[in-house]
C-alpha cells in the first residue's frame, strides 16, 4: 500500500515539474523592418508625415509579428510584411518607387532563406506589383537565383503573380524628385532622392531566419543600373548559423563592401555579435569608402541590430514578448 502511494506521489510530482518546464521554455521569435535610410531632418518633417510613416511601420511589423506568433514561417512573415510596404506609396518599393532617367519605375528585390541558404532575386522589373513575391518564386520555382528585366516580368506572369502597368507605380512626389535630381549637378550623391527602400528580417519559432529587401533603386538612374538590393550578399543575406541582414543606402557602396554577407562573416569567423558586426560594416567599412546608409539584422537568438551612418532610418522591431520599437531619427 505504502509503495503504491509513493509511486502515485512521484508520478504527480514529475507531472507537475514537467508542466513547469514547458511553461518556462520561452519560444523565441523576432522581427525587424526598415523603410529606408537617408537625409532627414526633424525640422522639415511635419508631424503629419511622421505619423503616416509610424503608422505604416507599425502595421507592417505587427502583421509580421502576428504570423510568427501564430507559428508561421519567417519566409511568410518577411513576404507579407514587405508587401504591406510595397503597396504603400510612402516607400521606395512597389507603388511609389523612385523614377529612372526616363521617368519609369524599375524594381529590384531579393529574398534569402537562412536554413537552406536558398535565395531568389529580380532586378529591373517594370511591372511586378510585389517584387518580393517574385524573388521568392524565383527561389522556389526556378533553377536560377536572379532574373532581370523583361524576363523577370515574363516569369512573374507565368507564376500568376499580379502585374501592373508602369503608371500604377508612379506618384507625383517621385516625379518632382526626378525633376529636382535632373537639375542638380551630381544627383547620384543625393541620398534624399532615393530614401525609402524596404526590408525585413525575421526569426521564427523553429529557429529559421529569413531576410528580404525591395526597392526602386536610385532616382535618375540610367542604363539599367542595378543596385545592391537584388545582389545576394550585398543587400540581403540570411544564414541560420549567424544572422539575417537587409541593407539600405547608396547601393554601389554596399555592393563593393559585400555588406550583408560581411556582417555574417564577421560573426562566423571572428565571433562578433550581430551588433558589433553591423557597427563595423556601417561605421567603419562603408563610411570609410564614402558611402552612406543603414542596416537591420537579427541573430538566431533574436538579438537585433539597427545601425545607420545617416541622419535617420525608418525602422521597427518586435520581440517574442510583443515589445515594439518604432524609430525614425538616429538618436531616437
Ligand atoms: N540601396 C538602394 C539602391 O542603391 C537604395 C536605397 O536603399 O535607398 O538601389
- Ligand 1 center–CA 203 separation, angstroms: 24
Compute mean pLDDT per 10 residues along the chain, 332 residues long, and list them. 60 53 72 92 86 97 98 98 98 97 98 98 98 98 98 98 98 94 65 75 98 97 97 98 97 98 98 98 96 97 97 97 96 90
Give the per-residue pLDDT at 3. 65
Q: What share of the chain is helix, strand, coil (3-state, %, to 5)?
A: 40, 25, 35
Domain boundaries, the chain: 27-329
Q: Do the beta carbons of residue 316 and residue 324 sit within 8 Å?
A: yes
The CATH class of the 27-329 domain is alpha beta
Q: Quick one: which atom of ligand 1 is closest to the CA of 252?
A: 4
Q: Quick one: which atom of ligand 1 is closest to the CA of 226?
A: 9
d(CA 199, CA 237) in angstroms, rounded, equals 11
Q: Which of 44, 46, 81, 197 does the annotation list as catalytic?
A: 197
In terms of Cβ atoms closer than 10 Å to its own Cβ (0-12, 13-18, 19+), residue 57 is: buried
CB atoms within 10 A of CB 3: 7
d(CA 197, CA 214) in angstroms, rounded, equals 6
Q: Is 197 a catalytic residue?
A: yes
Give the per-residue pLDDT at 33. 98
Residue nearest atom 7 in ligand 1 by C-alpha distance: 248
Element (H, E) at 328: strand 324-329
Give the per-residue pLDDT at 21. 45
Whether residue 124 has its Cβ less than 6 Å from ligand 1: no
CB atoms within 10 A of CB 16: 9
d(CA 201, CA 108) in angstroms, rounded, equals 17
Whether residue 230 has its Cβ less than 6 Å from ligand 1: no
d(CA 119, CA 116) in angstroms, rounded, equals 9
Whether residue 229 has its Cβ less than 6 Å from ligand 1: yes
Whether residue 199 has its Cβ less than 6 Å from ligand 1: no
Residue nearest atom 4 in ligand 1 by C-alpha distance: 251
Whether residue 236 has its Cβ less than 6 Å from ligand 1: no
Residue nearest atom 9 in ligand 1 by C-alpha distance: 217
Amino acid at each position: 500500500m505504502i509503495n503504491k502511494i509513493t509511486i502515485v506521489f512521484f508520478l504527480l510530482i514529475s507531472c507537475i515539474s514537467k508542466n513547469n518546464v514547458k511553461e518556462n521554455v520561452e519560444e523565441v521569435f523576432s522581427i525587424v523592418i526598415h523603410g529606408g535610410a537617408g537625409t532627414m531632418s526633424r525640422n522639415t518633417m511635419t508631424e503629419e508625415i511622421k505619423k503616416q510613416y509610424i503608422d505604416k511601420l507599425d502595421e507592417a511589423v505587427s502583421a509580421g509579428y502576428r504570423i510568427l506568433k501564430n507559428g508561421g514561417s519567417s519566409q511568410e512573415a518577411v513576404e507579407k510584411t514587405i508587401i504591406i510596404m510595397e503597396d504603400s506609396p510612402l516607400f521606395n518599393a512597389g507603388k511609389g518607387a523612385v523614377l529612372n532617367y526616363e521617368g519609369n519605375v524599375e524594381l529590384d528585390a531579393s529574398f534569402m532563406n537562412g536554413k537552406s541558404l536558398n535565395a531568389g532575386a529580380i532586378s529591373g522589373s517594370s511591372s511586378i506589383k510585389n517584387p518580393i513575391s517574385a524573388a521568392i518564386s524565383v527561389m522556389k520555382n526556378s533553377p536560377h537565383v536572379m532574373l532581370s528585366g523583361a524576363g523577370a516580368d515574363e516569369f512573374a506572369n507565368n507564376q500568376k503573380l499580379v502585374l501592373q502597368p508602369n503608371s500604377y507605380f508612379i506618384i507625383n512626389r517621385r516625379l518632382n524628385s526626378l525633376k529636382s535630381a535632373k537639375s542638380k549637378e551630381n544627383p547620384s550623391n543625393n541620398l534624399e532622392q532615393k530614401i525609402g527602400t524596404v526590408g525585413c528580417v525575421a526569426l521564427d519559432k523553429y529557429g529559421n531566419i529569413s531576410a528580404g529587401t525591395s526597392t526602386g533603386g536610385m532616382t535618375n538612374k540610367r542604363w539599367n543600373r542595378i543596385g545592391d538590393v537584388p545582389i545576394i550578399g550585398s543587400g540581403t543575406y540570411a544564414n541560420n548559423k549567424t544572422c539575417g541582414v537587409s541593407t539600405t543606402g547608396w547601393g554601389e557602396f554596399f555592393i563593393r563592401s559585400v555588406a550583408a554577407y560581411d556582417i555574417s562573416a564577421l560573426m562566423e569567423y571572428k565571433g562578433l555579435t550581430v551588433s558589433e558586426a553591423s557597427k563595423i560594416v556601417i561605421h567603419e567599412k562603408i563610411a570609410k569608402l564614402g558611402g552612406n546608409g543603414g542596416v537591420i539584422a537579427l541573430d538566431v537568438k533574436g538579438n537585433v541590430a539597427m545601425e545607420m551612418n545617416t541622419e535617420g532610418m525608418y525602422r521597427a522591431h518586435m520581440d517574442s514578448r510583443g515589445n515594439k520599437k518604432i524609430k525614425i531619427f538616429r538618436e531616437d
